[in-house]
Amino acid sequence: MLPPDPPGQRLDPARVDLKGMEEAALAAFCGELGEPPYRGRQLFAWIYGRGEWDFERMSDLSKELRLRLAEGARVGALAPERVEEAPDGTRKFGWKLAGGARVESVKIPMPRAEGPPRWALCLSTQAGCAMGCAFCLTGMMGLVRNLSAGEIAEQFLAARRALGPEERFHNVVFMGMGEPLDNFEPSAAAARILIHPRAGGVSARRLTVSTVGVASRLAEFARAVPGVGLAVSLHAADEAVRARLVPISRKWGLEALLRACRELPLPERRRVTFEYVLLQGVNDAPGAARRLAALLRGIRCKVNLLPWNPFPGAPFERPSPGRVEAFRRELVRAGLTATVRQSKGLPIRAACGQLADDERLAERPRKAVSPAPA
């Protein structure tokens, strides 16, 4: 059974796309059709709880309503244009969206001693990204376009359709292509749909949204999606190094960013995650770890270290496992919780920062990037 509008190319502008609408919007839509608001609740459960797109199969709606919905509305769905699997079990889905933009999602196996397999799912919020971080392949694409809430949520629903009966997504992260806070409302709406018990059903504490550090909107996002996990991409404890790696830090410097993190309305016992890409000779010295620990003092947080995932033409190198571990130990010695993210899916270019649309990349002249000094 395939969704009615695979790779998003048969968009019918005359039919309203319900995918992406939250419960209140669906109730309002039903109201316009002269239907009681609880119909919105039913539609919400069908579209996101069951992942249904065919009104005909929504058996608790009247025959007449189903016909009217089929005439005036649609439930946008995605079918993968491409699926690749790495030897470690990581699977990368390539989606082609309406208008031709391409994005990717990654399904990652989580280690588990026994029981049915558990998976993590990494979603994209934009096709490409405008932020241009020096070490990220997605950044090289520039921004193609923002995704709608429906397109973000549907990456989850479509990947869920392909799961076995006992399988589920244990963790969901917005760490694929794009900067979620640069596409704020759709990312927030999709996140709310994913954590709603009658929709995606993912527990809020198992949904993590990663941001490059748009300090001005961090707290607003935490309020817009109550309980969501936040990960902030820090990558340097020195303003000058960070400015070279993450251009937006010229606007939101370390001080403003860390102040915003301190003021986050975090639920009890929740911590903010700081991500730190380790680039050999740039930001991976033990002294940098000590400066990082000093900078984070007093913030309820943990640090997730990401040894840089390579792609051709980038002026960086991945530090050796020994150097990564030495950096981690330095943080632990200073009292921080620090983990190293395993790079899954490297052979199919599915690891962090490796997602990109090759056609788009080929069209763009490669910007010269000079490595930051150590």
Q: Which tokens in the block code for residue 141?
A: 């694409």
Is there binding between residue 309 and ligand SF4 (CB under 6 A)?
no
Which one of the spans 2-10, 145-153, 302-310, 320-328 is the region binding ligand SAH (CB under 6 A)? 302-310
Is there binding between residue 136 and ligand SAH (CB under 6 A)?
yes
92 strand-pairing partners: 84, 106
Pick the catalytic residue: 104, 179, 275, 330? 104
Q: Which of residues 139-168 bind ligand SF4 (CB under 6 A)?
A: 139
Which one of the spans 6-14, 60-68, 141-149, 303-311 is the region binding ligand SAH (CB under 6 A)? 303-311
Which one of the spans 60-68, 133-141, 154-162, 279-287 is the region binding ligand SF4 (CB under 6 A)? 133-141
* Closest C-alpha among 369, 362, 360, 373 to residue 143: 360
Q: Which helix (H) or strand (E) holds 287?
A: helix 286-295
CB-nearer residue toward ligand SAH: 131 or 157: 131
Nearest distance, CB of residue 137 and ligand SF4, angstroms: 8
Q: Which residues contact 52 (CB under 8 A, 6 or more apart)?
A: 46, 58, 75
Is there binding between residue 179 and ligand SAH (CB under 6 A)?
yes
Is there binding between residue 233 and ligand SAH (CB under 6 A)?
yes
- Write b or e for each residue in 149-170: b if 16 or more Cβ atoms lie within 10 A of its Cβ, otherwise e: bbbbbbbbbbbbeeeeeeeebe
* Other CB atoms within 10 Å distance of the CB of residue 115: 7
CB-nearer residue toward ligand SF4: 145 or 290: 145
Is there binding between residue 187 and ligand SAH (CB under 6 A)?
no
Q: Tell me how many residues contact ligand SF4 (CB under 6 A).
A: 11
Is there binding between residue 274 and ligand SAH (CB under 6 A)?
no
Is there binding between residue 249 and ligand SAH (CB under 6 A)?
no
Backbone angles phi, psi at 61, to 5 degrees: -100, 150
Q: Which of residues 199-218 bind ligand SF4 (CB under 6 A)?
A: 212
**Is 352 tagged catalytic?**
yes
Q: Which of residues 22-81 bind ligand SAH (CB under 6 A)?
A: none
Q: Which tokens in the block code for residue 302?
A: 């943990």
**Is 104 tagged catalytic?**
yes
Find where tokens 């392949």 sit.
137
Is there binding between residue 275 and ligand SAH (CB under 6 A)?
yes
Is there binding between residue 138 and ligand SF4 (CB under 6 A)?
yes
Per-position DSSP letters for 161-217, written without gaps between them: HTS-TT-EEEEEEE-SSS-GGGGHHHHHHHHHHHH-TTTT---GGGEEEEES--GGG
CB-nearer residue toward ligand SAH: 193 or 352: 352
Q: In whole angstroms, what is the distance from residue 195 CA to residue 227 CA?
A: 9
Largest distance between two CA atoms of the chain: 69
Q: Which residue is nearest to ligand SAH (CB)?
A: 353
CA distances from 31 to 13, 309, 344 (A): 21, 50, 47
Q: Which tokens in the block code for residue 28?
A: 């309002």
Dihedral sign for Cα atoms in the order 323, 324, 326, 331 = positive
Name the site residues for ligand SF4 (rule: CB under 6 A).
129, 131-133, 136, 138-139, 178-179, 212, 353
Which residues are tagged catalytic?
104, 352
Give me the residues that bind ligand SAH (CB under 6 A), please: 135-136, 175, 179, 210-212, 233, 275, 277, 306, 308-309, 352-353
